Structure 1
Amino acid sequence: MILVTGATGQLGGIVVENLLKNTPANEIAVLVRDENKAADLKAKGVEIRVGSYFDEASLKTALQGIDKLLLISSNDFNDRIGQHKNVVDAAKNAGVKHIFYTGVTMKDIETSPLKPLLGDHYQTEDYIKASGLTYTFLQNSLYFEVIPMFVGAGVLETGIFFPAGDGKVAFAARQDLGEAIAIILSTEGHENKTYNLTGSEAYSFAEIAEELSSLTGKTVAYTSPEPAAFEGMLKQFGLPEGIVVMSVLFAAGIKNNDFSSPSGTLEQFLGRKTTDLKAFLHATYAA
């Protein structure tokens, strides 16, 4: 049986949706914190198991009888490595045969400005390896879906003000990633492999501005300010400190070209071209 964590979240939901296309529902289980949010999956015949990354006892029960476990990384930064360790420990104790983990693909975490924020992905991978479990690491690129967060809601009127310099990102659509992960989960031959799952092409924020200009007929300018000016602007908007820090660090990481290396692996699993910038922006800003 395959168990997907975070199944009521965006990526997990896409994975389960795609699994159901070629895997019997009674061979799929999901880990959720709130059973009511998984009513649609239960109606389709998916087994619902209730648990939390923070609750070791619930994990121990939920992972019984599971062969393959997809651990979708926590989006709660409160001791994220501790949460992941709880799942890995429970998986080992429950006799899970194979763990799949959604991390991040980067040029070099050790030299990245984002190490304080994303280093726990690599710590999790090390912990999984040390556990002795068979593993598959699904190192995802940044989602296309983060672009609106970075450029702001008023981007078509104000332009892009983001200190990413000329850095590029091989963005991947969440839908593409979820589809590929479902394929990997439901096929064999992935033991102790690491897959870099990225878009087929890398784009700069200047190129994003150009594409938005072309798409909308408006002049969307790109300005790469000093990080301090960007941070000051975010604080003026009254954003929480955590969001400000995260935004500044991601801009620095992108400027450092941490996510600029496209891989053909995602395209190979999908058997088609990955979603490109034009298609994503059209669906987001012109639909």
Structure 2
Amino acid sequence: MILVTGANGHFGNATINFLLEKGVQGNQISALVRKEESAVEFRNRGVNAVIGDYDSYDSLLNAFKGVDKLLFVSGSDLLNRLSQHQNVINAAKEARVKHIVYTSISAKNETETSPLWLVVKSHLQTEQWLKESGVDFTILKNNLYMDLIPAFVGEKVLETGLIYLPTEDGKVGAVLRSELAEATAKVLIGVDHEGKVYDFSNPEAFSYQEVAKVISDITGKSINYVSPSAEEYADTLSKYGVPQDFIELFSSFAVAQAQGELDTTNDDLEKILNRKPTSIKEFLSQVYTQATPI
């Protein structure tokens, strides 16, 4: 039995779809969801669904019974993530789960000086707990989702002709979330992945200067790239009424990219997929091909 946590999230749901596509029977997959109404969708697709919450140890222990492989999708509650992750690992150990596959982060700077330290530190601690748990594990260090690049660029980029982002000349080895999910499914059904740490980054990193050029070439609209200071960026977003939580999150990821923290390139993902991951040019072509120059 393979259990996927965060099953009604984009990543967990996509992984389940790939498991089904690759021939895993629905009755051999369990989807962990927090509410009964979310379980109905999976059961209608022939997939088992169990109720569990990272904050509830007993619910996790019950959900993990009979599970051979657990896809442990990292929690999104940054303030409570450490205690939640400890619950998952301890419950999996007590339930005698044989193999845990964990979604971590790919980042060069794993110290308190990182702009992403709030995110990174919980991943590092979770990785350590996994290595000390005595349970077979695989760690997937996932780079930034390429799917988020249009959000960083801005939804009105064709109207303004401007990418305004404090990423300087930094590059990022971003990858499509769907390709990460496909690779994860292959790890779950594959062999000889125990004890491995994979860096799932794109073999080609890119900068936002390159993003601006690609969008310009695709749409015929001249797109300029300007990198303000992080303070100027935050002030500008605040003036447009962007929520503070959003500003802080995007600012931290932008500064991390400026500092090259996500500038990792690797062929681990390519090897698992058995093909090259989608490039930024291919992705942006899909996003902006239907856009009409203004």
TM-score (norm 1): 0.97
1:175 corresponding residue in structure 2: 178
Alignment partner, residue 200 of structure 1: 203
Does 1:149 find its partner at 2:160?
no
Where in structure 2 are there 5+ consecutive unaligned residues? none
Name the SS of the counterpart of 1:160 in structure 2: strand
Tell me which moved more, 186-195 or 120-129: 120-129
Equivalences for 1:53-64 in 2 at 5 Å? 53-64=54-65
* Amino acid across the alignment from 2:144: L
Tell whether the 8 Å contact from 2:100 to 2:138 is kept in structure 1 after alignment: yes
Other-structure match for 1:222: 225
Correspondence for 1:3: 3
Partner of 2:213: 210
In structure 2, the residue matched to 1:133 is: 135
Q: Distance in 1 between matches of 2:15 and 2:65?
A: 21
SS in 2 for 1:102: strand
Partners of 2:187 and 2:193 within 8 A in 1: yes
Cα distance in structure 1, aligned partners of 2:110 and 2:152: 21
Percent identity between the aligned chains?
Answer: 40
Q: Is the 8 A contact 1:112 1:256 kept in 2?
A: no
- Report how many aligned residue pairs link the two structures: 287
Query: Which residue does 2:255 correspond to in 1?
Result: 252
Pairs within 5 Å for 1:90-109: 90-109=91-110
1:123 Cα offset (Å)? 1.2
Deviation at 1:195, TM superposition (A): 0.3
Residue 96 (structure 1) shift = 0.6
Aligned AA for 1:152? Answer: G
Structure 1 residue runs of 4+, over 4 Å off?
A: none
Report the equivalent of 1:272: 275
The SS at the match of 2:7 is: coil
Instruction: Determine if contact 2:39/2:51 at 8 Å carries over to the other structure.
Output: no
Offset at residue 83 of structure 1 (A): 1.1
What is the deviation of 1:127? 1.5
Q: Is residue 103–residue 141 contact of structure 2 (8 Å, CA) maintained in 1?
A: yes
Cα distance between partner residues in 2 of 1:151 and 1:129: 38
CA contact (8 A) 2:173 2:203 kept: yes
CA RMSD of aligned residues (A): 1.2
Q: Which residue of 2 aligns with 1:243?
A: 246
2:125 counterpart residue number: 123
- Give the secondary-structure state (helix, strand or coil) at the position aligned to 1:234: helix
CA distance in 2, matches of 1:120, 1:72: 13
2:264 to 249, 261, 266: 261
Residue type at the aligned position of 2:64: L
Distance (whole Å) between structure 1 residues aligned to residue 45 and residue 229 of structure 2: 51
Look up the equivalent residue of 2:166 and give its one-letter code. Answer: P
User: How far apart, in 1, do the equivalents of 2:58 and 2:108 lie?
Assistant: 37
2:27 aligns with 26
Q: 1:134, CA displacement in angstroms?
A: 1.2
CA separation in 1, counterparts of 2:64 and 2:242?
Answer: 38
State the 1:231 CA deviation: 0.8
Contact 2:106 2:264 in 1 (8 A): no
**Contact 1:157 1:220 survives alignment (8 Å):** no
SS at match of 2:197: strand
Q: Which moved more, 1:184-193 or 1:145-154?
A: 145-154
Separation (CA, whole Å) in 2 of partners of 1:285 and 1:235: 27
Equivalent-residue separation in structure 1 for 2:20 and 2:41 (angstroms): 13
